[in-house]
Structure 1
Amino acid sequence: MPCIAIVKPAHAVCGRVRAGTRRSVKVSDLLALPVEVGAAVRRRRLFHPAGVLARGRIERIAPPGQGLPIETGDVVGRVSKGVGLPGSVPDIAGLAWRMTPGNRPWDVLLATTAVNRVLLLPATSWDHTTYSSLMPLRYQGGVWWLRARLTTHLDRPGLSLDTITDRLARGDLEYSVEQAAGTGEFGPLARLTLSEVIPPDRDMSFDPTLNTAPGVSLAPGWLTGFRRAAYRRSREGRDAE
């Protein structure tokens, strides 16, 4: 049976490895192949390739035990543009952060959406943006949504990452993080503060399908499988950890 060559011989997908031996290929892996190819061509992430990495802190506001188990602690966050369009051109804005409860990484990735929580919506400015988890999180038998809103006012129009860098050089960026059970209303969960820019040569690969808190998982499972394969293909395509 012929092989499908991806980028490198080591990444070839074969129906038959050697006589009498077969290796199964998941559909999610095949669907994610374009992500690896795109990342290899760009030598960086296919999606959200341009961003600002920063140290910060998250502070829980919701009462203990109410909703998702996000706790107060240090974070590393990233503000990004989804397509990576230059300058202040509108784009899908992204917000990600990594928490380390119990020294175990928990990654949260959000993107700007319309009011229905799942429809991506380009942002024309960093101000007045709403970020959504796009997929709900299962926890203790329930389904929870996450969203965030920038509460720091930025007085520059457009969606330039220089605006984020300049602001962090002068002060903090603060976000209100909210949660909603199922189709219910959103309520306060935490306050996210980004404070110190990390040099651009020290990037971080976020993966919410692998790095999560005990008992927390993305839903539905089939879409999580595709995202997991896409993140892995992206790392492989650009030789990232």
Structure 2
Amino acid sequence: MIGFNRSPIRVAGPDGGDLSTMARPVCRDALFRTAQRIFSLCIQVVAIPIIAANLVNVAHAQFDLPPPVQEPPRTPGSPTPSYPLVKPGLPPPGLGISRPTQPPAVPFSAPATVHVRQSKTHPNGVTILIDTVSFLPSSIVVSVEIFNPAFYRQRLNPSGSLLLTDERGRSYFFVAPVDNPELVIGPQSHVFGQLLFLGGVDWQARALRLTINHPFGSSTDRMTVVPLFQFSLPAEPRS
């Protein structure tokens, strides 16, 4: 409250005017500024909720993600092509372009066994009989029968001289027994066994050669203990 209106005393101003009359404009200015502040506060009270609501709507619009796009289901039973798709009317890529050359499919029984029954006798009296040759996917097995009538031992694999090769020049590694790596045949003995060679036979091979004691042995010496033998064997049978 302004106390000018309540005062009954009139006070003369320096120039002879009334101070109460001079104070009225000042009171009106103070009341006007107070009303302006109250009006501004009212506008702020009303505007703040509206601004907040708009901000919430904008936030929802920005963070609402669209639903995930689902791929159409594939038709069951559709095979996947083994080579890139080509335009209609064009043949698939030929051999050697997108796929390596493969040997022709050849039906065979596993294991495929060839009955050989091939026998040879060395001048020193040792006889070796090749009974069968079995072809497995990763190895070749040669069944043998060996007779040593002499009074001294015979060695058939000194320094790894027992070899199996084909006519294309490929060699098949011989897996020697751990307890008898040189294949020592005792005197006056008759043994049966199997010779294991690693590696499947070459699909283009037509013949095999089994060599024993080459080049260390002798094919004519009657007193040798490393007799030289060579056998020609058929490769895997084909239909």
Structure number with bigger Rg: 2
TM-score, structure 1 normalization: 0.27
If each structure's strand is expressed as a fraction of its own residues, which one has the higher value? 1
The higher relative CO (CA closer than 8 Å, separation ≥ 6) is in 1
TM-score, structure 2 normalization: 0.27
